[in-house]
Structure 1
Amino acid sequence: MLELHVWGPAFSLPSIDAQCLATIAYLVKTVPKTEWVLVATSDPSVSPNNELPALKDGATWVSKFRNIVDYLRKISDGAWALNSQWTALQEADNIAFSALTESNGQLLIDLSLFVSSQNYYACTSPAYGAILTWPNQWILPPKLRTAAKHRTAHLGLSSLDLEATEETQARARSAAVAAGQIPKNLISRPRETVSTLLGKTAQSSRFRLDALTAELFEPLEQLLGKKQFLLSDDYPSTLDVLVTGYLSLSLVPKVPSAWLSDSLRAKAPRLATYVQRMRDECFGVVNPVDAFSDASNTSGILPWRQPERVNVAKIGSTLLNTLADATPVVRDFRSNDRLRQDIKSNDDENTTEYEKELASNYAVAQRREIYITVASVTAGLTAMIGYLIYHGLIAIPKHTEGEDHENGDGEFHSLQPTTAQDILSHLAL
C-alpha cells in the first residue's frame, strides 16, 4: 500500500501546498484508489529528505512531485503515467508550460498567501495552526513566510507586507531627519492606519501584479482554448494536474485581499472554469474532519488515513531540529546534507547527467567551504586565546596535590596556588 504524506487540508482543499495538491491529483488520475492512502502528516521530518509531498512504498521514500511521478511510472511499467501517448510537440508544450506554472504559480501563491499581511494573518496563519501540532504551529508558519518573502524579493512587491512598508517608511523618515531635511519637532506624527497603507499598497502594486498574473494566466488560457484538457480533448497530462494544484490555491481560498482569484476570473475565465472542474473531479470539497478522523475514510474521492499521533519523542526531535537550524554552522551542514540527498534522489528524466554532475560538484564545493570556514574560525579563536594567555590576560589554574602544610593553630590546609601572583605571595610569607 502506497502512502502519500502531504501538508494538511485548508480552504476546503486537501492540502495547503500546491505541490501536494498536484501530487494528489496525479494519484487520483493514475493510481487505483485501493492501492494508496492519503496521510495529512503536515510534518516534513517524516521524510528522509525533510520535504512534502513524500511517497512511502515499504521502506522506500520519494519526495517532490516530479520524482514521485517518475517513481510511479517505473514501478507500474508505465501503467500509472499520464504522458505515455503524447507527440513530440505535446511533450515540448508539457515541459515548457509545466516550468512556467511551477515558477510563476509559486510566486503568485507566495505573494497572495504569505507576503500579503492581510491574507497571512487572517487566513494562512490560522490555516496552518489548524493542521499543525505544538510546537510546529508556532515554528513553521513564520519560517515558511520568511522563505516566501525571500523568493519574491526580486519582484519589488514587498509593499504587500504592511510591516515591511512601515519599517521602510520609518527608516526613510529617520534618514531624512539625520540629513536635516525634516525638523525634529515634526518627526512625531500619527501612525498610518491599516486602511491608508492598504490604499497605497494597492496603487503601487497593481501594475506589477497585473503583469505577473498575465504572464501565467493568459498563455494557459490560449493553450486551453476550447479543449477539455490543456494538451488534448481526451486525456489529462502532468501539466493538467500541476495547473490544478497551483491554480486551485489561486482560485479557491476566500481571502480578504482577493486580487489573485479576481485576476484569474477576469483575465482567463475559461481557465478558471477548467480549474474549478478539475478541482471537483480530483478533490471535491474537503472537510478537514475527514483527514483527521479515527476511522479510515474511503467513501469520498480521496482515501484518507489518520496520521500518527504526536508523542514526546517527536516533540523533542522537533525542538532539537529547530535549535540545530538556528545554529549557524550546524544549519549550514544540515542544509548541505539536504542538498546532497536531493541530488541523489533526483530521478527526473529531464535532468541530464551533466546537470546532475554540476549540482553534485556544487554540493561538494559548498561542503568544502563550510569546513574551511570552521577551520578558519577555530584557528582564529585558538590564536586569540594563546595571545591572551601569553600576555597574562588569562590565568591558567594550577592545582598541587598532596602538599599539606601546618598552620599556627596545628591545623592543616592544602596549598593550591592558582596564578604566578599567588605563588610569589606565598614565597614572600
Structure 2
Amino acid sequence: MLQLYVLGPAFGLPSIDAECNAAVALLKSHFGPDDSAWEIIPTHHHETTLPYLRSDDNRTLHGYGAIFEYLSTTSSAQNTLTPTQTADSTAITSFLNTHAPTLLSISLYVSSENYRHATRPAFTALLPWHANYILPPRRRAAARALTDHLGVSSIDVDNVHEDSGSSSGGVGKDPNREGFEAQAKERASLLLPRKDTVRSLLQRPEHAAIFKLHAVAEEFFAPLRDMLGEKEFLLDTSEPTGVDCLAYGFLALMLYPAVPQAWLAKTMREKHGGLVRFVERMHERLGLGTKAEDVLDLANCVTRDDILGRRKAKSMQLPWCPPERPTVLETATTVSKELVEQIPYLKSPPTIMPLHSIRQPVWQRHLPAILLGTAATLALGGYYAVRTGLSVWPRGEQVQIFGRKRFADYGHLGAALSGIGLLGQQAARDSAYHQQVDLEASPVNVDVKVKGDGAV
C-alpha cells in the first residue's frame, strides 16, 4: 500500500500546502475510487520535504515532481500523451512553479490580516503545541523572502512597523521618537470615527499595494486562462493529468480560503471565470472536499476497522489515516534544537528556510536524537550509581591519591634540596628555642620596702 504524507487539511481542502493538494489529487486521479491501494497520513515534519510518498518497496519519494514521475510509469493517461502535449505539460509545469508560489505567499503569509485571521488559526488546529512556534513562522519568513523584490511589504503590518522604527531622522532629531510619534498618530487616527474617503481607503495597508498586486495576479492568471481556453483540462484530455493536478493544487488555495483580504479570489471570480470552473470541476470530480475536524477526529481510532467505520460515518471520499503524532523524544529534541538556535553567538548564521526544505541524510536527521538520548542515558546512569552505591570504591583496594609534588619526588637532586630545606627549618626552630630559654634565665629585679620592726 502506498502511503502519502502531507501537511494537514485546511480551508476545506486536503492540505494547507499547494503541492500536497496536488499530490492528493494526483493519486486520487490515478487510483480512482479504489481506496485500498493508498492512504493519506497527515504529518508536520518541518525539516522534511512535503509531500512524500512511501512506496510498496519501502522507497521514499519527496516532492510532487518525484511522485508524479513514479506514478507516470504506470499511468495510462500520461503514457498516451502526444509529443506536443508532453511539451505543453512541461511548459505549464514550469510556469506554475515559477509564478504561483509568489501569489500564494502574498495571500496567505505576507498579508498580516490573512495570516493572523486565517493561516495561523488553520495551523493551530493542525499542529502540536510545539510545532506551532516553529513551522508557521518559518513558512512566513520564507514567503517574505520570496516576495521581497516585489515591494508589497505595505500589506504586512509587521514590516511597516519595523521600517518606521528603523528609519533615520534629520540632524538633532531622535529617529526612535519620531517613529513612535508617527505610529501613535496613526493608531490614534484609526480609533476616531470618520467617514472613509478615497485617500483614506488607498492609504490602508491592504490597499497601498493593490495596483501592483493586481498586476502580478494578471501576469499569472491571463496566460493560464489562455492555455486552458474552453477545454475541460489543460492538455485537452478526457481525464486529468499531472499538470491539471498541479494547477488545482495552487489555484484551489487561491480560491477557497476565506481570508479578510480576498483580492486574489476576487480577481479570479471577476475576470477569470474559466479558471474558477476548472478548479470547481476538479474539486467535485475527484471528491477532494475535506473537513479538518473529521480528519483530526481519526486520532481517537484504535484499530483499522475503527478507521474504516469512521470514514464511512463521516462520508470521507479520501483514504485518510490518523495524524502522525511525535514521540516525547522527538518533541524534546525539536524544542531543544530550536532553543539552542535562539541563543546568541551559538546559533548558526541566519538562513532563508524554503517552503520545502532539502532532504537531509538519515544520519543527520537522527543525530540530535541520538546525542540527546546518549546524554540522558549517561545522566540517569550516574544518578542511579550514586543512589545505589555502585560508585563507592571497593573495600580493600589501594587508592591512589594525587596531591601536590614535593622535592623528594624528583630523584636524588630533589632529595638533597629537600634536606637543605629541612636543615633551614631545624635551624629556625633551634633559634626560637634558645631565645625562649634566655628569656626564662634572665634575673628579675624586685623592690622591697622595710617598715617598723623589719616586717615586710
What is residue 281 of structure 2 aligned with on the other side?
277
Asked if structure 2 preserves the Cα contact closer than 8 Å seen for 1:134 and 1:315, the reply is no
- Pair 1:312-2:352 in alignment: no
What is residue 51 of structure 2 aligned with on the other side?
53
> Residue 138 and residue 340 in structure 1: after superposition, are their counterparts in 2 closer, same or farther (change >3 A)?
closer
Code of the aligned partner of 1:231: L
Alignment of structure 1 residues 211-230 onto 2, 5 Å: 211-230=215-234
What is residue 192 of structure 1 aligned with on the other side?
186
Asked if structure 2 preserves the Cα contact closer than 8 Å seen for 1:218 and 1:267, the reply is no
Secondary structure at 1:188 match in 2: helix
What is residue 137 of structure 1 aligned with on the other side?
132
> Residue 185 and residue 262 in structure 1: after superposition, are their counterparts in 2 closer, same or farther (change >3 A)?
closer
Asked if structure 1 preserves the Cα contact closer than 8 Å seen for 2:22 and 2:248, the reply is yes
Q: Report Cα offsets for 1:276-314 as digits up to 9, x if no partner.
A: 121222344311133221232265221001124333112
What is residue 243 of structure 1 aligned with on the other side?
247
CA distance in 1, matches of 2:4, 2:157: 37
Secondary structure at 1:33 match in 2: coil
What is residue 206 of structure 1 aligned with on the other side?
210
CA distance in 1, matches of 2:136, 2:96: 24
Code of the aligned partner of 2:71: L
Asked if structure 2 preserves the Cα contact closer than 8 Å seen for 1:38 and 1:304, the reply is yes
CA distance in 2, matches of 1:67, 1:320: 32
What is residue 404 of structure 2 aligned with on the other side?
401
> Residue 197 and residue 117 in structure 1: after superposition, are their counterparts in 2 closer, same or farther (change >3 A)?
farther
CA distance in 2, matches of 1:145, 1:271: 27
Alignment of structure 1 residues 146-161 onto 2, 5 Å: 146-161=141-156
CA distance in 2, matches of 1:156, 1:330: 25
Alignment of structure 1 residues 249-328 onto 2, 5 Å: 249-292=253-296, 293=298, 294=301, 295-296=306-307, 297=311, 299-323=315-339, 328=347
CA distance in 2, matches of 1:166, 1:323: 26
Alignment of structure 1 residues 152-171 onto 2, 5 Å: 152-171=147-166
What is residue 13 of structure 1 aligned with on the other side?
13
- Pair 1:176-2:169 in alignment: yes
CA distance in 2, matches of 1:8, 1:198: 36
CA distance in 2, matches of 1:308, 1:112: 28
CA distance in 1, matches of 2:80, 2:12: 33
> Residue 169 and residue 62 in structure 1: after superposition, are their counterparts in 2 closer, same or farther (change >3 A)?
same
How many residue pairs get matched?
336
CA distance in 2, matches of 1:255, 1:8: 18
What is residue 41 of structure 1 aligned with on the other side?
43
> Residue 257 and residue 198 in structure 1: after superposition, are their counterparts in 2 closer, same or farther (change >3 A)?
farther
CA distance in 2, matches of 1:206, 1:100: 23
CA distance in 2, matches of 1:24, 1:98: 17
Asked if structure 1 preserves the Cα contact closer than 8 Å seen for 2:10 and 2:16, the reply is yes
Q: Which of the two has higher C-alpha Rg?
A: 2
Q: Report Cα offsets for 1:108-155 as digits up to 9, x if no partner.
A: 110000000000011111110110002101221111111110111111
CA distance in 2, matches of 1:62, 1:186: 50
Q: Report Cα offsets for 1:84-116 as digits up to 9, x if no partner.
A: 222222212111111111221111110000000
TM-score by length of 1: 0.71
What is residue 398 of structure 2 aligned with on the other side?
none
- Pair 1:99-2:94 in alignment: yes
Secondary structure at 1:4 match in 2: strand
Residue 216 of structure 1 and its aligned partner are, at CA, apart by: 1.2
What is residue 374 of structure 2 aligned with on the other side?
none
For structure 2, list consecutive stretches of 5 or more residues without a partner in the other structure.
191-199, 362-401, 408-456
Q: Report Cα offsets for 1:247-268 as digits up to 9, x if no partner.
A: 0000000000001100111221
Residue 70 of structure 1 and its aligned partner are, at CA, apart by: 1.3
> Residue 325 and residue 301 in structure 1: after superposition, are their counterparts in 2 closer, same or farther (change >3 A)?
farther
Alignment of structure 1 residues 71-86 onto 2, 5 Å: 71-73=70-72, 78-80=73-75, 82-86=77-81
> Residue 151 and residue 236 in structure 1: after superposition, are their counterparts in 2 closer, same or farther (change >3 A)?
same
Residue 185 of structure 1 and its aligned partner are, at CA, apart by: 8.8
Secondary structure at 2:78 match in 1: coil
Code of the aligned partner of 1:23: A
CA distance in 2, matches of 1:186, 1:304: 51
Q: Report Cα offsets for 1:142-183 as digits up to 9, x if no partner.
A: 1111111011111111111111112223333xx23447699x
Asked if structure 2 preserves the Cα contact closer than 8 Å seen for 1:30 and 1:80, the reply is yes
Residue 330 of structure 1 and its aligned partner are, at CA, apart by: 9.2
TM-score by length of 2: 0.67
> Residue 278 and residue 135 in structure 1: after superposition, are their counterparts in 2 closer, same or farther (change >3 A)?
same
Residue 52 of structure 1 and its aligned partner are, at CA, apart by: 1.0
What is residue 65 of structure 1 aligned with on the other side?
64
> Residue 14 and residue 214 in structure 1: after superposition, are their counterparts in 2 closer, same or farther (change >3 A)?
same
Residue 400 of structure 1 and its aligned partner are, at CA, apart by: 6.2
> Residue 230 and residue 328 in structure 1: after superposition, are their counterparts in 2 closer, same or farther (change >3 A)?
same
CA distance in 1, matches of 2:133, 2:201: 27
Asked if structure 1 preserves the Cα contact closer than 8 Å seen for 2:42 and 2:324, the reply is no
Secondary structure at 2:3 match in 1: strand
Q: Report Cα offsets for 1:190-228 as digits up to 9, x if no partner.
A: 342496698443443122111111111111111111111
Secondary structure at 1:223 match in 2: helix
- Pair 1:25-2:19 in alignment: no
CA distance in 2, matches of 1:239, 1:403: 84
Bigger Cα displacement from structure 2, 79-88 vs 124-133 = 79-88
Alignment of structure 1 residues 304-383 onto 2, 5 Å: 304-323=320-339, 328-329=347-348, 339=358
CA distance in 2, matches of 1:263, 1:104: 16
CA distance in 1, matches of 2:80, 2:340: 47
Code of the aligned partner of 1:35: A
